[in-house]
Structures are given as structure tokens and as C-alpha cells.
Amino acid sequence: MRYETIRNLQIPKIGFGCWSIGGMSTPEPAWDQRSMTALHSALDLGYTHFDTAESYANGHSEELLGRVIREKGVRRADLFITSKVSPEHLHYDDVLKSCDNSLCRLGMDYLDLYLIHWPSHSIKLEESFKALNQLVQSGKVRFLGVSNFNLKLLKQAIVLSETPLLTNQVSFSVPDQEYVKNGVLEYCQQNEILLTAYSPVKRRNIKSNATLRKIANDRKVTPEQIALAWLVMQPRVITIPMSANPQHQAENLSAADIILNADEMEQLSASVFN
């Protein structure tokens, strides 16, 4: 596994995204066993960064993640746990309450990273960051970040955060390079901020990309692994794929060890999907 070293942290290039653990936007109790089996497998394989949110299955994702971590007996200090506050909860008191609720569901004393999940059009960032800064001061959160922020909002967040902003989590993949085009990736790389790529593997698109398939075939790995390798080869980029399949989980994790050459990177950056 390769890591990004930033702010005296070593963060795995590839973590585990918990979207669909326990349900989608609402809890799905019938999914619990499958979800917990997926989390057990991920921990057994060596995943240490887990990314969840209060909106994932309306908090049930956090509950299941916390339960499995306790069942496995993994030391809290060996994990890096990210959660997110929803845009409707960005008033000062609501941010504090949301964080407390997330910690309660996880059964933890602190979060390693706490993100604004989406910017709000009606609540000022100044109010939100007043609460977020308080959470860091109180020790309930180690690092702050944002998600789905454009360049203008990202710059505002940097000014308002009393501690260095750790990441902007955005949709980023071979077929989705919007945050390259809008300058966010370059800005993050120049200012010691991680770009965390969610939805890194769009399987319906992978089959139509001849470049991905050829490179994968030449290297005797899967196109999904090449798609992940392309992401994490880039400085200051980490990613959080999700799979409930243990084999795919292992393949995702090992993608961080695939070293693409400059020509392959350029081909993938320029590849066109039909």
C-alpha cells in the first residue's frame, strides 16, 4: 500500500467508502448482514481509512461501521475514520449536534476527519466553520475538510478554517475529470490539500474505454484496478472505492501498488468514452 504523507499524517492512497453500507438514503435492515460481512472483510484485508456520513442510510452506516470495528477489536488509533455533516445541518448548533450524533452512532470519542458534505446555499460558511473549529478545539475532531466544493468555495473554506484544511472530497475518475478542468486538483496539489476521489470506478463506462482495457490486458490486471491506479498515481490524490465482494476489495487495495508509466497516464487522461 502506498500513502500520502501530509500534516504529519500517513493516509492510505486507497480507503473504503461506506456509501450503501446499511442502506442508501434510508436504513435497510435486510442489508445488515451483507454490509457487516463487507466491513469485516475490508478490515481483514488491511483497510484502515473508512469514509462514512450521517446521511448514509440516515446514520445506519455509521452504526454498522462502529459495530464491526468493536467486533473485530481493532485499535481505534490504527484507523482513520471520516464522517460528514449534511448541508441542512450547517447552522452552528446543528453542526455540534450532528458531530455528537455521529460519534454516538460510531461509538467513538473522536473523528479523524470531519467534512461539510455539500455546501449550503442558505447557511453562511462563517457560521459552519465557527462550529467546526470548536470541534477541533474540543478534541472531537482531528482534521477538517469539505466535499463537493468548487474553487471559490474551497478558497473561502481555507480562510475560515483555523487549522489547515485537509481535503476536498469530489467525484473524480477517468471519465469524470471536471475537477481537473475547473482547477480544483491543481490548486489542491499546490496548497498541500488532499483531493479525495469518490465514485472512482464507473463500471458502466469502463467497458467502453479501449485504452483502459488494453492497459489492463497488457499488465494482466483488471480495468478497474487501472482506473484506480491512474487516480492514486497523481500527487495529493487518494480515493475511497466501495465493494462488498472480498475479491474486488483486495483488487482495489492492491491497485495502489500498480505503477503506471507517463505514457499510460497521458493516454488515460486523454481517453474518450463513447
Q: Which residues are catalytic?
A: 56
The kind and range of the H/E element at 128 are: helix 125-138
Distance CA 74, CA 212 (A): 36
Distance CA 32, CA 37 (A): 8
3-class SS at 1? coil
Distance CA 208, CA 138 (A): 49
Radius of gyration of the chain (CA): 18
Give 167's contacts (C-beta < 8 A, 6+ positions apart): 113, 115, 145, 146, 193, 194, 195, 196, 238
Give 152's contacts (C-beta < 8 A, 6+ positions apart): none
